[in-house]
Structure 1
């Protein structure tokens, strides 16, 4: 119980000092944003565009992050090069919409980091994706 009180006291004093410094208390790095693609395609779906538009608007808030990683992925039926093309399509769309990120790292993972483990040659929507992750500077 005593450790809990000490921990809570430390958290409260650190958040108070952050507020005194003008840092918004709600500016936590969000989990990755993910957009999905149709098989063999790099075209953005309506849902993907909505997600990307949200990312642009969210980054214009008081919490505007400055560094991000865009990771392209493919499923086991697709060529690895499509993961790079998907990442590039997403980055172009975000920039065209006014996404102001100072440092963007883009990476193609191919089928190396599957969200859903599948046998070779099996198509899976969850694996055909681009992940946008804000990173510490």
Structure 2
């Protein structure tokens, strides 16, 4: 993960947000969950900066998209009680993977907040496609 690539990913998320008609905040973090790039669109919700970074962090920490988490964190779920603190357990966070087979590992994550969950996921996936195409 480097700044130039993280900026390209945030730009891809913003372009998708324009197509979706959403005003978002988008964060890219490194493998330790540390912020590398962040952008907030004009008119984006006040909670977006916190939620976008939280979704990015959560996707790295748990090594899965945050859209997988609602069922897992519900009462009786495998991760019941996890939500809260830095963990944001609804769609819009995507981990970024590098390597193959046993060498595969999470090297960063993207978090998007401000639209509907569907819009947030679409924007995060647009950013992740920049990572995949690198």
| TM-score above 0.5 | no
Which interval holds the TM-score relative to the shorter structure? Answer: 0.3 to 0.5
After TM superposition, the score normalised by the length of structure 2 is: 0.36
After TM superposition, the score normalised by the length of structure 1 is: 0.36
